[in-house]
């Protein structure tokens, strides 16, 4: 039985917010065509046929939707898509749904739809209000914290499963205690921190994380998390969960966690397929799912080249005791998490130095 995951961008890079650090805006600006507009329902049907043609009874398909802001495609588009998928799966292929969203369009009709189809929602919320509102702005350049937090409360009320997705900027990383307090005060049970990345064509940007700040943030946050865990309170912080799982079972639950690129299937609004969300660029376009099936694209020579391409390996890796569980990390996060061009500090190694003994104890308990 196969397990297949795809990420679809039904509104391409279009968004109803103007976040100061948006990585996909940066990616799309580096393409010949920055936005492919909205995916038509006719195109989505051809794409789905070329996905389901490679699936068999008993297989599992995870359909994730991201952007830009995917809800801009409209609720009716999503309804037609899920109806089409239901007809193709015929109850023989298990389908999971996930949606990454800023939440601004999630009214009662949207929330009912998400609950009806068992969507896992990733809600973008950047911690305490002052941090969120300084970067996550709407089209009128106004902060969006109040509206986003109201959506979180509606998700809680309707018991729709969700994770909080927080972009870890260099400024936010200065305040791990405030972040932890916010998690406690707002009863956040599942959270993932995404390193804020510098532009593809720049060494740095005002919001971009640095290895030093990464280490300081996670060292302090891990202390708080571990203390709460010992006292019987567990909150899921994805990096910590992924590391414990890796140490206990050897399983890799996050792309780049051990330095290897796990091929993704990123589907842009015109059907173009790319092997990674960070590299949805002209040079890495694998083809179109409107024309070819998903196996042909994922097994193409360009896909293999992407996975096997040479990656920058910091000099510190040569004597690093964590090389087997890191491998230099995700190449797109090289400057922000591992080794910047301005110093020789590896943020991830510094964090592991401070926490590895406790991580190993947790891994042993998990086994």
**Rounded to an integer, what distance in angstroms lies between the CA atom of residue 71 and that of residue 74?**
6
Of 224, 233, 255, which Cα lies nearest the Cα of 358?
224
Closest CA to 350 of 166, 222, 161: 222
Q: Are 288 and 268 in contact (CB under 8 A)?
A: no
Q: Are 143 and 132 in contact (CB under 8 A)?
A: yes
Query: Token pair 């002052």 is at which residue?
Result: 130
Rounded CA-CA distance 176/184 in Å is 12
What gap in Å lies between CA 237 and CA 221, rounded to an integer?
10
CB 85 within 8 A of CB 48: yes
Instruction: Please give the Cα distance from 233 to 244 (Å, whole number).
Output: 17
Give the span between the Cα atoms of 57 and 48, in whole angstroms. Answer: 16
Count Cβ neighbours within 10 Å for each residue of 274-312 and write b for 16 or more, e otherwise.
bbbbbbbeeebbbbbbbeeebebbbebeebeebeeeebe
Per the residue annotation, which of 133, 241, 277, 353 is the catalytic one? 277
Indicate if 118 belongs to the active site: no
What is the signed CA dihedral for 177, 183, 184, 185, rounded to 10 degrees?
Answer: 100
Q: What is the DSSP letter of 128?
A: S
| Residue in the structure block whose two tokens are 């990123």 | 266
Calculate the dihedral angle through the C-alpha atoms of 102, 257, 182, 359, rounding to the nearest 10 degrees. 160
CA-based torsion, 147, 73, 288, 298: positive or negative: positive
Q: Say how far apart CA 338 and CA 212 lie, in whole Å.
A: 9
The residues assigned a catalytic role are 277
């Amino acid at each position: 039985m196969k397990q297949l995951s795809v990420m679809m961008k039904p509104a391409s890079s279009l968004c109803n917010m103007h976040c100061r650090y948006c990585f996909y805006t940066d990616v799309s600006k580096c393409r010949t065509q920055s936005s492919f507009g909205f995916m038509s329902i006719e195109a989505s049907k051809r794409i789905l046929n070329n996905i389901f043609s490679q699936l068999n009874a008993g297989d599992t398909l995870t359909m994730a939707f991201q952007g830009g802001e995917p809800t801009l495609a409209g609720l009716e588009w999503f309804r037609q898509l899920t109806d089409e998928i239901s007809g193709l799966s015929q109850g023989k292929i298990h389908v999971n749904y996930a949606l990454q969203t800023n939440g601004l369009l999630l009214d009662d009709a949207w929330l009912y739809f998400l609950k009806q189809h068992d969507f896992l929602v990733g809600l973008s919320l950047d911690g305490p209000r002052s941090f969120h509102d300084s970067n996550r702005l709407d089209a009128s350049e106004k902060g969006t914290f109040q509206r986003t937090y109201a959506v979180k409360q509606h998700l809680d009320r309707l018991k729709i499963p969700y994770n909080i997705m927080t972009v870890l900027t260099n400024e936010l990383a200065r305040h791990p205690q405030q972040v932890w307090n916010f998690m406690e005060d707002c009863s956040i049970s599942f959270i993932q921190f995404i390193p804020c990345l510098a532009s593809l064509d720049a060494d740095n940007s005002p919001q971009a994380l640095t290895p030093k700040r990464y280490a300081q943030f996670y060292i302090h946050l891990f202390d708080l998390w571990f203390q709460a865990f010992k006292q019987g309170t567990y909150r899921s912080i994805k990096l910590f969960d992924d590391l414990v799982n890796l140490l206990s079972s050897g399983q890799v639950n996050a792309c780049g966690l051990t330095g290897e690129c796990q091929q993704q299937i990123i589907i842009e609004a015109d059907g173009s397929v790319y092997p990674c969300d960070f590299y949805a660029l002209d040079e890495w376009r694998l083809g179109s799912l409107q024309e070819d099936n998903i196996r042909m694209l994922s097994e193409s020579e360009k896909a293999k080249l992407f996975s096997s391409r040479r990656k920058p390996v910091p000099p510190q890796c040569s004597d690093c005791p964590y090389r087997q569980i890191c491998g230099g990390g995700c190449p797109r996060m090289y400057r922000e998490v591992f080794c910047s061009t301005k110093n020789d500090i590896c943020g991830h190694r510094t964090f592991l130095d401070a926490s590895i003994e406790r991580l190993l104890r947790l891994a042993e308990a998990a086994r």
